[in-house]
Each structure stands twice: as C-alpha cells, then as structure tokens.
Amino acid sequence: MSLRLPKSTLLHLAALGLLAAPGAASAQAAPSPPAALPAAAPPTPAAIVAATTSANGPLIAGVCLLSQETLVSRSKVGMAATARLREIAQEVQANLLAEKSRLEARGKALEAKRATLSPMEQQAQGQALNQRVQALQAEAGQRNQQIDATKTKAYQQVIQQAQPFIAPAYAAHGCGLLFAREAVLTGNLGNDLTSEVLAAFDAKGTPITFDLAPPR
C-alpha cells in the first residue's frame, strides 16, 4: 500500500518560508528548456512614475514611512520568531510523515496476509485502514490551518512589541501621517523611520515565546 498525503501540507510549509519545497533542489539543478523570447510587456505603473518624476522629489513634511515587513524579517525578535515557526513546522511535518510510514507498513502487512483472510475480513481491515488514511489527510489540513494561525499571531506580536520604539521616532521626525513603505512606488524617502526603529528594537526588544496554535 502506498499512502500519499496531499502535497498541500509540505508545499504550504514551504510557502510560509519555513521549509524547502519537496523536490526544490532537484528542480533547481535541472536545466531549463529553451524558450521563445517573450513579447515586450507594457511598462508597469511604477516604471511610469519613476520615469516621469525627478530622482527623489521634495520631502513632504509630516509624512513618514515604516516597513513592518522589515521589522519582522530583519529584527532580532522577528528572526527568532521565524526560527521558532520553522521548528514548529518541522515537528508537525515529522509527526505526519511518521504516521504516514506507519500506515504504509500496515498496508503492506495487510497485502501480505490477504491470502489468509476471508473476503469479509479483507473488507473490514481495508476499510479500517482507509478510514485512518482519511483521518490523517484531514489532520494534515488542520495542521496547515494551525501553522497559518501561529504565524499570523507571532508576527502580530513582533509588530506589537515594536510599537514602543515606533512612537518616539514618529514624534522625533514630526510625523503627522505614517504610511507603509511597501505601498510607496517612488519618491523622497527621507522620512523613512525603518532603520531607526529597527536599531532601537534590536537594542531593547526581547524574543517572544509561542507554541502551535490550537485547532479552530
């Protein structure tokens, strides 16, 4: 018996940036087939804006920028949270694969003794095994949801812990509005608070602790 879990579990973990996607290494090593040259794509809005504005533009007083993505991905607290998420994801993966191996072994054992079983016994044992396979597939989907919830909550905690370091920078720069830096196409980024907040956060922030979120 060959048991296949939906690839969604392992691929989903990879999408979270916690595990390498199955087969990724071999896929990267394989040479790409030659492809026809693509047709010229229309210019993107960002390219249009960049081409029609000056190098930086005027600094707009009171308008400040902050990259929350950078605070999560580059801060010591954020990187520790990502490492913990990876650890949790690997534990989940190991448990699912261990159960998968046990069910495959049960399937092989059933196949080996099939000749000694009556049709009714074969059907009963086969149904019991299929039910366990379906339960494992459902469990894999549930673990995906739990990892999603864990990731969302952990990164929210990172941003919450950074708030006390954002407020002083906001006040020091005389900000009246704070925008996400990721939403800015181009312009004068002189009032970008990210580096300043990141330095203060790294100096005084403390790692957060968390476990896999409970099932919903």
Task: Inform me whether the pLDDT recorded for 35 exceeds 70.
Answer: no
Most confident range (mean pLDDT) of 7-16, 114-123, 196-205 is: 196-205
Residue 128: pLDDT band (50, 70, 90) is very high
What is the residue-averaged pLDDT of the chain?
81
Report the pLDDT value the prediction gives residue 124, as an integer from 0 to 100. Answer: 94
Task: Inform me whether the pLDDT recorded for 96 exceeds 60.
Answer: yes
Residue 31: pLDDT band (50, 70, 90) is very low
Task: Inform me whether the pLDDT recorded for 141 exceeds 60.
Answer: yes
Report the pLDDT value the prediction gives residue 55, as an integer from 0 to 100. Answer: 53
Q: Which of 163, 191, 153 is nearest to 62 (CA)?
A: 191
* Segment 167-185 mean pLDDT: 94
Written as one string, the DSSP assignment of 140-206 is: HHHHHHHHHHHHHHHHHHHHHHHHHHHHHHHHHTT-SEEEEGGG--SS--TTB-HHHHHHHHHHH--
The residue type of 117 is: L
Give this prediction's pTM: 0.71
* Segment 84-112 mean pLDDT: 95
What residues contact residue 31 under an 8 Å CB cut-off, 6+ apart?
none
Quote the percentage of the chain above a pLDDT of 70.
75
Structure tokens at 131: 């039910």
Task: Inform me whether the pLDDT recorded for 169 exceeds 70.
Answer: yes
Could you give the angle at the alpha carbon of 46 between the alpha carbons of 34 and 54, nearest 5°? 125
> Do the Cβ atoms of 197 and 66 come closer than 8 Å?
yes
Helix (H, G, I), strand (E, B) or coil at 34: coil
| Exposure string for 110-128, b = 16+ CB within 10 A, e = fewer | beeeeeeeeeeeeeebbee
User: What CA–CA distance (Å, rounded) separates 63 from 160?
Assistant: 22
> Do the Cβ atoms of 65 and 191 come closer than 8 Å?
yes
How would you classify the pairing of strands 63-66 and 177-180? Answer: parallel
Task: Inform me whether the pLDDT recorded for 127 exceeds 90.
Answer: yes
* Segment 136-162 mean pLDDT: 96
